Structure 1
């Protein structure tokens, strides 16, 4: 096709390159800019942002809990209290002809709180029991009170009980009384709450104590000497 001035105009076709087989614009024509639609891939959607914030909050909470746990375990260092029988007295020891036995014992339990910043709250359910050859003779309840930090308190408990003894157990008890070595088992159950400076509850636990005690006498109104004592402790969280 010829232009208005007698010169041929640019061809209206596209030339194919032999080397690359790519489309090339005809001579004298410019490459037109190409515009591509961009997908909205930047940023985050509402759901993703909410999930990210929740994850960050959870991470901060876990870090806070871990820091508090480390502070409590390392700096405060909570320790379980310890208990020992410091006194054993006999108020009543009445062995009856029908093989029944009524007893009243006075037991002093020495409670030690070794913690520097932790007090101990003693709750309901604490008790002391005395057994002879697995037969319970008497029992009594521990009082409800609060023990301060680094404190030693003596708890006096009155134990009362009536039990039925077989002839063999009665004979063994009489023989032990005659030799002056009477083996008794004292069980102590202590439910406590460890409190930081008397304000914040740290941990609830129940302390169990078994004291294998040997005394020289069970005669009423007479001083009883503790010949030996062996302890076993267990803590239930």
Structure 2
């Protein structure tokens, strides 16, 4: 008895390793009646919304630097004021400065004549007493001073004080010669005579502008100016005569 040979299928190893690259069933064929599950809002995760925050504008560096410079400058000025104030306070406590005192002791008129051209020629000799009441401060009287004699708005004579040093607690008597010539003085002479007849005195003004240097101990400071204003009432203006001073008062001022 013969048997028919049986043929068995042989498994292909290369065929088993190849996977289908596309789905066997198209995606559209697997949709259900409710639609595509990939687009179902219940199955999709909601997207998170991030609130919009506007960015702050960039700072202006130039303005910030300018404000810093102004602040530094103000601080330096304030510090300088404090240092100067403290220094002045310490010097005041150490030296205890006092103002000088001036007085007109004697006034002599050596020339007082009305010329043919209506000009007035005058010459005065003035004796001034200057007192330095300070115990630790000296005064250097420098060149370039000016002393003048006025009647109302007319300058009669002028001169200058000598250069000298006045020590501590010192009293110095100064002799000054002054000369002058005033134009168109006819009205001035008339006013002087009327003033003397009406009041019995003649008001004069003496002005002193004196550059000085202050000496604190061994320290010699910068040059300043003494301004002295004296109001003097005399009995008359007679040539070659010592004028009687009825009253006088002087004021002192310091100018840098």
Normalised by the length of structure 2, the TM-score is 0.62
Task: Say which of 146, 159, 164 aligns to 1:140.
Answer: 159
Between Structure 1 and Structure 2, the one with more helix by share is: 2
Task: Say which of 111, 119, 126 aligns to 1:100.
Answer: 119
Larger Rg belongs to: 2
Higher mean displacement: 168-177 or 132-141: 168-177
- Kindly indicate whether the alpha-carbon contact (under 8 Å) linking 2:114 and 2:185 is maintained by their aligned counterparts in 1: no
Cα distance in structure 2, aligned partners of 1:136 and 1:73: 39
Task: Say which of 247, 251, 254 aligns to 1:228.
Answer: 247
Residue 234 to residue 68, structure 1, CA distance change in 2 (3 Å) = closer
For residues 1-237 of structure 1, what are the structure 2 equivalents within 5 Å?
69-178=88-197, 180-197=200-217, 199-202=218-221, 204-237=223-256
Q: How many residues align?
A: 176
Q: Deviation of residue 174 (structure 1)?
A: 2.3
Give the secondary structure class of the aligned counterpart of 1:223.
strand
- Kindly indicate whether the alpha-carbon contact (under 8 Å) linking 1:195 and 1:203 is maintained by their aligned counterparts in 2: no
State the Cα deviation string for residues 8-59 of structure 1 (Å, max 9, x = none).
Answer: xxxxxxxxxxxxxxxxxxxxxxxxxxxxxxxxxxxxxxxxxxxxxxxxxxxx
Cα distance in structure 2, aligned partners of 1:228 and 1:103: 22
Cα distance in structure 1, aligned partners of 2:98 and 2:146: 21
Please, which runs of 5 or more residues in structure 2 have no aligned partner? Answer: 1-80
Residue 97 to residue 173, structure 1, CA distance change in 2 (3 Å) = farther
Cα distance in structure 2, aligned partners of 1:203 and 1:134: 33
Between Structure 1 and Structure 2, the one with more strand by share is: 1
Q: Deviation of residue 66 (structure 1)?
A: 7.5
Cα distance in structure 1, aligned partners of 2:190 and 2:82: 65
- Kindly indicate whether the alpha-carbon contact (under 8 Å) linking 2:102 and 2:250 is maintained by their aligned counterparts in 1: no
- Kindly indicate whether the alpha-carbon contact (under 8 Å) linking 2:103 and 2:249 is maintained by their aligned counterparts in 1: no
Cα distance in structure 1, aligned partners of 2:251 and 2:97: 20
Aligned to 1:27: none
Cα distance in structure 2, aligned partners of 1:63 and 1:172: 55
Aligned to 1:40: none
